[in-house]
């Protein structure tokens, strides 16, 4: 079971700022060490706020490559799309970057699209951002979905969940990240965070096996 380092901050605003500071720090390290920073990001209001706060950080944007952890199957520009909010939340002044690798969820052949996206992925991400649902799901790895059992592919497709199918990184892709950063906020996450911290594999989030994982949570989520 990986060790999770837990850091608690006051509330959602502090959580977004702490996440932005952490991402910027890791981006500078990666750019200095090997010339690029490969970062996979999930959807949700907390990471969008974090990206807004990155405008105040020293980020080598020209060396940043952003990948999506998961995406709803919906048209380009749809408000349900994580990409729509990601692009809107990036700071305007970002020095000619980042390169955004969008999940090809508009394709007619989604299975082939998933394989193509998997071929774009780095062998290891420098950093993966994950959130945690009240039911313990992370990415689009939802309790009971067959995508949880994929062991031989980096990208999979889910069944319909809350009205949409999803494309998602699978455990093999997430678990080979150099580091995973969890951003968790809200009182509805208390029980799920307890299970994540305990390595309770009854929730999907706890099955991410990357060796280095840090959890940033606000006081409400930390209970």
User: Which class is 3-222 in CATH?
Assistant: alpha beta
Q: Where are the domains positioned within the chain?
A: 3-222
CB burial of residue 96 (10 Å; 0-12, 13-18, 19+): exposed
H helix or E strand, kind and range, residue 101: strand 99-101
Confidence at residue 214, expressed as pLDDT on a 0 to 100 scale = 98
Q: Could you tell me the pTM of the whole model? A: 0.96
Residue 184 scores a pLDDT above 90: yes
Residue 1 scores a pLDDT above 70: no
Give the tens place of pLDDT for each residue, 17-46.
Answer: 999 999 999 999 999 999 999 999 998 888
Residue 213 scores a pLDDT above 90: yes
H helix or E strand, kind and range, residue 25: helix 12-34
Give the tens place of pLDDT for each residue, 152-168.
Answer: 999 999 999 888 999 99
Confidence at residue 150, expressed as pLDDT on a 0 to 100 scale = 98
């Amino acid at each position: 079971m990986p060790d999770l380092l837990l850091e608690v901050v006051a509330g959602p605003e502090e959580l977004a700022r702490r996440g932005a500071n952490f991402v910027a720090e890791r981006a500078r390290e990666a750019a200095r060490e090997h010339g690029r920073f490969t970062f996979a990001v999930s959807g949700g209001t907390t990471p969008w706020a974090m990206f807004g706060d990155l405008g105040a950080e020293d980020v080598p944007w020209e060396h940043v490559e952003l990948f999506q952890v998961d995406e709803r199957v919906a048209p380009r520009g749809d408000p349900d799309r994580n990409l729509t909010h990601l692009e809107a939340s990036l700071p305007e002044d970002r020095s000619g970057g980042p390169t955004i690798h969008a999940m090809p969820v508009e394709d007619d052949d989604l299975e082939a699209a998933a394989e193509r996206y998997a071929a774009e992925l780095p062998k290891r991400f420098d950093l993966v951002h994950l959130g945690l649902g009240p039911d313990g799901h992370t990415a689009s790895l939802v309790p009971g979905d067959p995508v949880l059992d994929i062991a031989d592919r980096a990208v999979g497709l889910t069944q319909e969940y809350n009205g949409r199918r999803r494309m998602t990184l699978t455990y093999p892709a997430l678990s080979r990240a150099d580091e995973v950063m969890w951003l968790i906020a809200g009182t509805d996450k208390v029980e799920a965070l307890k299970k994540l911290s305990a390595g309770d594999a009854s929730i999907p989030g706890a099955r991410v096996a990357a060796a280095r994982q840090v959890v940033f949570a606000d006081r409400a989520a930390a209970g």
